[in-house]
Structure 1
Amino acid sequence: MKSWKITTLFALVAVMMGSACTKRFDEINKNPYDFDEDELKADYRLMGEPLSQAQLNLLIYNDPPTAQLQQNLNADVFSGYMMAPTPFEGNINNTNYGLLYYWNNRPWEVTYNNVMKTCDFAQMKSKDTFTDFYAWAQIIKVEAMHRLSDIYGPIIYTKYGIMNDEMGIDYDSQQQAYYAFFKDLEQGIDTLTAYINRKAPQRIQAFDLVYKGDYTQWVKFANTLRLRLAIRISGVDPQKAKAEGEAALNHPLGLLQSSPDDNFAVNIAPVTHPLNIMCYTWADLRMSAPMESILTGYKDPRLSHYFVPTDDNVHVYHGIRNGIKISAKEEYSGFSSLVRFDNKILFMTTAEAWFLKAEAALYGWKGAGTAAANYAAGVAASFKQYNISNVNNYLNNAVDKPNPYIDPQNADNNIPAGDKHLSTITIKWNEGDSPERKLERIITQKWIAMFPEGQEAWSEFRRTGYPRLFPVVINNSNGTIPTEKFIRRLPMPQRETSTNPQAVARAVATLKGPDTGGTPLWWDLR
């Protein structure tokens, strides 16, 4: 319980104990835990506290077992960032496409119970009167719900809380959801921009766990999020993507570009980062094979800022390939651990903003600048985030490429030189390259820079096919996920198929195929 709540309760009890006036019997005997709504509105707690909780649960901050199932044992692994040395469920689990329904309910449960519900409550209480809180809720809600849609596809968004008689609560197709995201972002941006322009009081400071109440920073984040979603749909809906992307690029307050302080990272202090628990307390998390291949191949100075060397050698880094045979945890637990993270959970970096601009420039969007300059700025922003110098030497490296992968425990897992899954992309920008090779270069560096945010990295890999990752060795999907196509989504959660079956059936009909991990999402053309 926060200190202001304790202080308020003690104050109320003191008033009760100090009064002997029987005429005030009803007031004295009022439950001190029942705060009057007007009292809560007076210092904005009625709207602000729910939105604090929404931020904290974008990735559930205080429940590592749930966080492990919410993101780590799906997106963090599917993105090529991390791998578990643990043979969960007899080595038939998500890491080798043996999808476990009781794991795959968790992203849905956390997002609706801990984020969507609280944002909806805050919007209901703030509408018309506290429009800045309403706008803030819109932005937080889009950040949470686009992540959920990028896991499953159809979601309950515009019809949230609306029961359609016996037909259940209807879903939006992913296209409908994305169009609603853009609408909410536009409204939220416009509202907060108006507050800034008229120098109105900025009232969210006590509840803002990212930017300490700075409305300008929230507008910059929302603009960048709008650009992210525009780029996401650029292949499937280029006209809508261009309109939304250019609106973000040309907004007067701009994107997240100035410094690492612009990064969208939720402060969960004093709670430790859930990845620390997974990696060090449970030993359930290690470096991935693609991370080893790419970072060691490029001699990337970010390597030691992301991972620690193996237990056996202070100068060697080893990652685990996805979907391999693991008989016991001890086989691979000595491979490279992740570094220990601070008390902030990172969801968007300034480097990502530059790489989004770089891709927008490839498409000729107004306000994007040049791809080459944005690419260099993205790498520089990532280096700055870790206080690394010599970025120019790195950017001028036209020789180094990702290394072949050698598993010292089992040669069957190797990716040798010349393998089709091993990228030949170098670091130095080449204006003469084809648009596709330029895209691979941008996304590869973007993937490196976004670490450890596996949800966004998995989405970008599915959308673009980059960076080149290694397919699973063992595929336990019973043919529903083609090995060379990689996993494209999670099936609809069983709790929904059990409690909302007719609506789920209608939602599944909007997909490009059956409700399996092998069916691509709307924006996924690869």
Structure 2
Amino acid sequence: MKSRRNISTLFALVAIMLVSACTKKFDEINTNPYDFNEEDLAADYRLMGEPLSQAQLCLLIYNDPPTAQLQQNLNADIFSGYMMSPTPFEGNINNTNYGLLYYWNNRPWQVTYTNVMKSCDFTQQKAKGAYSDFYAWAQIIKVEAMHRISDIYGPIMYTHYGILNDEMGIDYDSQEQAYNAFFNDLREAVDTLTAYINRNAVQRFTSFDLAYKGDYTQWVKFANTLRLRLAIRIAGVNPQKAKQEGEAALSHPLGLLKTSADNFAINIAPVTHPLNIMCYTWADIRMSAPMESILTGYNDPRLPHYFVPTDDGANVYHGIRNGIRISAKEEYSGFSQLVKFNSNILFMTAAEAWFLKAEAALNGWKGAGTAADNYAAGITTSFNQYGINNVNDYMNNSTARPKPYVDPQNPENNISAGDPHLSTITIKWDESAGREQKLERIITQKWIAMFPEGQEAWTEFRRTGYPKLFPVVINNSGGTIPTEKFIRRLPMPQVELVTNPKAVARAITTLKGPDTGGTPLWWDIR
């Protein structure tokens, strides 16, 4: 892909340095032309900064909507219960109804390894030993990208990346090994950048940072929050490790993301958000049925900030249920569109940080505060993100519940009152409720607040079972994905099965079952 900031400048820089090395001076003749010192890079640090701009832009590929559609939209955005497509791709046998298409499902892997992992590795090789701040920055971006890939497939190439074994190929880490490496990288990165901040060192990211404009403190807060996210993720499968990592994140003096100004979003301006193309140019994505049920049931004031009413009226919203019979796009393309997004791709909100703290409090982790206070702060922070004021009325509502779902096109798809897939959870915090009910409240509000970040929403649904979603009506998995269990992962990429077969075969043995969409990941114990 073409970087917004032309990556070819790197190669021009290398060429200039190689030419300048050819001189009659003895010291310069005996200097390795591939080594770059502080003087060489003092002007702008492009050799290390440009690849990290590229990496940020490709967390969700910014300038290639067809690839972005396959990278996340036609998997996690739909599996999360956020969105659904009105388009009957491939004769209505596709990801939306568990007819998994390998040529779709290669794409998250390919984009991330080609454009993110490769760029981060390049920077780390050039920065190691001399530019520890750039090295640390690459570590954080790498963990942000690769935990998403691990949460899609399971085992990944992380600590073995770029290391070719003649017998094995390029080996994989199990998901547990990858998570342990994520924690190590985040700890090292936070320590490094905190030391820079404490000695008031020059902060050198400004020209390349598409999220925080070079603010090291913001990156530390993001890394702490990411560490807490991953700690919460593994709390069911390794509570001791989770507690250790979570409490370390909670106790760091620079803290977590706190206000909506802290949100981690990548600015891709002047390019439009890829979801705008998918929704408005192609008419390939619409509101989901669970979104309609939950947001209209709660009379949630965030609804018009997320979706557009149908032509049926100013306050009429319709979502499409996953995995239904669609014979032609026109059947459902009139359902609610997404709002048009600005040129910031959102990956983590400060509201999520408060909900993470709420769950940490349920776990009894030191420094988490109380679940009730964090829950209230999470909702308030989400409302503030959209300039909504009436948060107290919303938080004190103890009667509103998700509504039954009615498909005006086909009653086969309806979810009636009393259906076990329809949640009865209310909004108002109840300190006397049991742990599971408290968890459902936290995750349901967290799910609302994270929109449109479908990857994290899908992951949290798999981990917790919340919010309650509607199962597919048609299941084209051939029995590999139980309808009531929902999809748990994507199979290993076909490209790896072809090019790295021995390593993939060993990686598959680290799973808890066959290489199918129905096999749960390491942290997925529900």
Q: Contact 2:147 / 2:179 at 8 angstroms: preserved in 1?
A: yes
Q: Contact 1:400 / 1:427 at 8 angstroms: preserved in 2?
A: yes
Q: Percent identity?
A: 79
Matching of residue 263 in structure 1 with residue 258 in structure 2: no
* Aligned alpha-carbon RMSD (Å): 2.1
Q: 1:35, CA displacement in angstroms?
A: 11
CA offsets, 1:502-522, max 9 Å, x none? Answer: 111100000000000000000
- C-alpha distance in 2 between matches for 1:321 and 1:334: 14
Q: 1:36, CA displacement in angstroms?
A: 9.7
Name 1:130's counterpart in structure 2: 131
Q: Contact 1:37 / 1:46 at 8 angstroms: preserved in 2?
A: no
Name 1:113's counterpart in structure 2: 114
Matching of residue 50 in structure 1 with residue 46 in structure 2: no
CA offsets, 1:31-89, max 9 Å, x none? Answer: xxx99956862321110000000000000000000000000000000000000000000
Q: Contact 2:5 / 2:50 at 8 angstroms: preserved in 1?
A: no
Matching of residue 398 in structure 1 with residue 398 in structure 2: yes
Once the two structures are overlaid, the 10-residue window that deviates more, 420-429 or 307-316, is 307-316
What residue ranges of structure 2 are gaps of 5+ in the alignment? 24-32
CA offsets, 1:386-439, max 9 Å, x none? Answer: 000110000000000000000000000000000000000000000000000000
- C-alpha distance in 1 between matches for 2:444 and 2:7: 46
Name 1:191's counterpart in structure 2: 192
Name 1:374's counterpart in structure 2: 374
Within 5 Å, which residues of 2 pair with 1:423-502?
423-502=423-502
Name 2:164's counterpart in structure 1: 163
Matching of residue 520 in structure 1 with residue 511 in structure 2: no
Q: Contact 2:7 / 2:50 at 8 angstroms: preserved in 1?
A: no
CA offsets, 1:439-458, max 9 Å, x none? Answer: 00000000000000000000
CA offsets, 1:274-316, max 9 Å, x none? Answer: 0000000000000000000000000000000000001332220
- C-alpha distance in 2 between matches for 1:40 and 1:94: 50
CA offsets, 1:114-173, max 9 Å, x none? Answer: 000000000000001000000000000000000000000000000000111131110000
Q: Which amino acid aligns with 1:60?
A: I
Q: 1:260, CA displacement in angstroms?
A: 1.3
Name 2:328's counterpart in structure 1: 328
- C-alpha distance in 1 between matches for 2:330 and 2:50: 44
Q: Which amino acid aligns with 1:406?
A: V
SS at match of 2:170: coil
Indicate how the Cα distance of structure 1 residues 40 and 343 shifts in structure 2: closer, same or farther if over 3 A, else same.
farther
Q: Contact 1:40 / 1:46 at 8 angstroms: preserved in 2?
A: no
- C-alpha distance in 2 between matches for 1:288 and 1:324: 12
- C-alpha distance in 2 between matches for 1:472 and 1:375: 31
Within 5 Å, which residues of 2 pair with 1:190-209?
190-209=191-210
SS at match of 2:347: strand
CA offsets, 1:451-506, max 9 Å, x none? Answer: 00000000000000000000000000000000000000000000000111111110
Name 2:79's counterpart in structure 1: 78
Q: Contact 1:268 / 1:345 at 8 angstroms: preserved in 2?
A: yes
- C-alpha distance in 2 between matches for 1:508 and 1:185: 27
Name 1:62's counterpart in structure 2: 63
- C-alpha distance in 2 between matches for 1:448 and 1:4: 37
Name 1:145's counterpart in structure 2: 146
Q: Which amino acid aligns with 2:418?
A: G
Q: Contact 2:77 / 2:454 at 8 angstroms: preserved in 1?
A: yes
Q: 1:92, CA displacement in angstroms?
A: 0.2
Q: Which amino acid aligns with 2:482?
A: P
Q: Contact 1:355 / 1:443 at 8 angstroms: preserved in 2?
A: yes
Indicate how the Cα distance of structure 1 residues 68 and 40 shifts in structure 2: closer, same or farther if over 3 A, else same.
farther
Name 2:337's counterpart in structure 1: 337
Q: Which amino acid aligns with 1:209?
A: L
SS at match of 1:207: coil
Q: 1:345, CA displacement in angstroms?
A: 0.2
- C-alpha distance in 1 between matches for 2:472 and 2:401: 22
SS at match of 1:379: helix
- C-alpha distance in 2 between matches for 1:418 and 1:317: 22
Q: Contact 1:41 / 1:47 at 8 angstroms: preserved in 2?
A: no
Name 1:243's counterpart in structure 2: 244
- C-alpha distance in 2 between matches for 1:155 and 1:431: 40
Q: Which amino acid aligns with 2:247?
A: E
- C-alpha distance in 2 between matches for 1:37 and 1:88: 50
Q: Which amino acid aligns with 1:177?
A: A
SS at match of 1:191: helix
Q: Contact 1:312 / 1:334 at 8 angstroms: preserved in 2?
A: no
- C-alpha distance in 2 between matches for 1:287 and 1:41: 48
Indicate how the Cα distance of structure 1 residues 139 and 295 shifts in structure 2: closer, same or farther if over 3 A, else same.
same
Q: Contact 1:286 / 1:336 at 8 angstroms: preserved in 2?
A: yes
Indicate how the Cα distance of structure 1 residues 500 and 296 shifts in structure 2: closer, same or farther if over 3 A, else same.
same
- C-alpha distance in 2 between matches for 1:310 and 1:40: 58
CA offsets, 1:75-120, max 9 Å, x none? Answer: 0000000000000000000000000000000000000000000000
- C-alpha distance in 1 between matches for 2:41 and 2:500: 35
Matching of residue 220 in structure 1 with residue 221 in structure 2: yes
Indicate how the Cα distance of structure 1 residues 348 and 328 shifts in structure 2: closer, same or farther if over 3 A, else same.
same
Q: Contact 2:247 / 2:367 at 8 angstroms: preserved in 1?
A: yes
Name 1:290's counterpart in structure 2: 290
Q: Which amino acid aligns with 2:238?
A: D
What residue ranges of structure 1 are gaps of 5+ in the alignment? 17-22, 25-33
Number of aligned residues: 507
Name 1:407's counterpart in structure 2: 407
- C-alpha distance in 1 between matches for 2:315 and 2:122: 52
- C-alpha distance in 2 between matches for 1:93 and 1:56: 28
Q: Contact 1:230 / 1:240 at 8 angstroms: preserved in 2?
A: yes
Q: Which amino acid aligns with 2:267?
A: N
Q: Which amino acid aligns with 1:143?
A: E
Q: Which amino acid aligns with 1:373?
A: D
Name 2:235's counterpart in structure 1: 234
Q: Which amino acid aligns with 2:473?
A: V
Q: Which amino acid aligns with 1:215?
A: Y
